[in-house]
Amino acid sequence: MKQKNRSALPGFTLIELLTVIAIIGILASILIPVVGKVRDSAKASVCISNLRQIGLSAMMYALDNNDQLPDAGAGEDPAWARALSSYMAIPTTQIASIFVCPGALIPVEESPNPNDVVLTYGMHGGLMPRGQPALNLAQIARPTDVILAADMCQNPNNRGWTPNSIEQPSVFVSQSGGRGGEADLNALISTAVDNDNGNNPWMRYRHNNRVNVVKADGSATSFLKGEVRNRHVIFVD
């Protein structure tokens, strides 16, 4: 039997191989950004779920404590997170992850104190002022508007944690803790300092220029940077 000449077998030319490589490169350039956006969207969804869980736990805590919210704690003590963690129907090993945004850019370290709860979320500094008793849910005039907790800037000098309370811009703690007065409820709040730099008590717009929040009625949502108004911060008309 006559053996076939191997050189006569069909194969790819150099031009064909280069064409295939070019097509693969084009597809990769299209797919990689899409995959990145899907991943970021998933992180934002988990973050919203975390805040919803925090809001639900705050409502349950208040029901057990005559409508009183948990105290924020003094200094860097995450007392409010410890108080709410006992109301979360999840394994103890997962509690820390509920208080950490999966989109946080700085790695978050555990505390040497086993009683601490790792934080990248903060509570409203007027509703739960540090070192002072927290307010009562009944004192919130517009619970469907007012932010209870939100994404916060991280402190790279403190294990990547956030401060306990959102205290900037000053409307969060001014007017005796954001208690109304003559402020224009439709005025936009400042978003001037949105970065993970030092002990920065501002909200963090880390999800495609949006900040995730849970409101005082337990509902979770997000705001585009520049959308948050005084009505979302001032809680007594």
Reported as a single tens digit per residue, the pLDDT across 23-57 is 787 777 776 665 556 577 788 889 999 999 999 99
According to DSSP H, which parts of 90-143 are helical?
Answer: 92-98
**Is the full-model pTM beyond 0.85?**
no
- What mean pLDDT is reported for the chain? 84
Which residues make Cβ contacts (< 8 Å) with residue 141, sequence separation at least 6?
180, 235, 236, 237
Whether the CB-CB separation of 110 and 118 falls below 8 Å is answered with yes
- Mean pLDDT for 56-67 is 94
Single-letter amino acid, residue 12: F
Residue 53 inside a domain? The answer is yes
pLDDT at 147 over 70: yes
Domain range holding 209? 13-232
The residues pairing with 122 across neighbouring beta strands, listed in sequence order, are 150
Residue 8 inside a domain? The answer is no
Whether the CB-CB separation of 134 and 128 falls below 8 Å is answered with yes
How many structural domains is the chain composed of?
1
Residue 194 inside a domain? The answer is yes
Residue 2 inside a domain? The answer is no
| 78/198 Cα distance (integer angstroms) | 17
Give the torsion sign (CA, 125, 157, 222, 101): negative
pLDDT at 178 over 50: no
Residue 114 inside a domain? The answer is yes
**Tokens coding 48:** 């919203």
Residue 1 inside a domain? The answer is no
Which pLDDT value is given to residue 73? Answer: 84
What pLDDT digit, counting tens, does each position of 2-15 carry? Answer: 555 555 556 667 67
**Tokens coding 160:** 């990547």
Residue 4 inside a domain? The answer is no
Residue 41 inside a domain? The answer is yes
pLDDT at 179 over 80: no
Residue 187 is classified by DSSP as: S
Collapsing DSSP to helix, strand or coil, 4 comes out as: coil
The rounded percent of the chain whose pLDDT value lies above 70 is 84
- Number of Cβ within 10 Å of residue 48's Cβ equals 18
What pLDDT digit, counting tens, does each position of 73-118 carry? Answer: 887 788 899 899 888 877 665 666 789 999 999 998 887 777 778 8
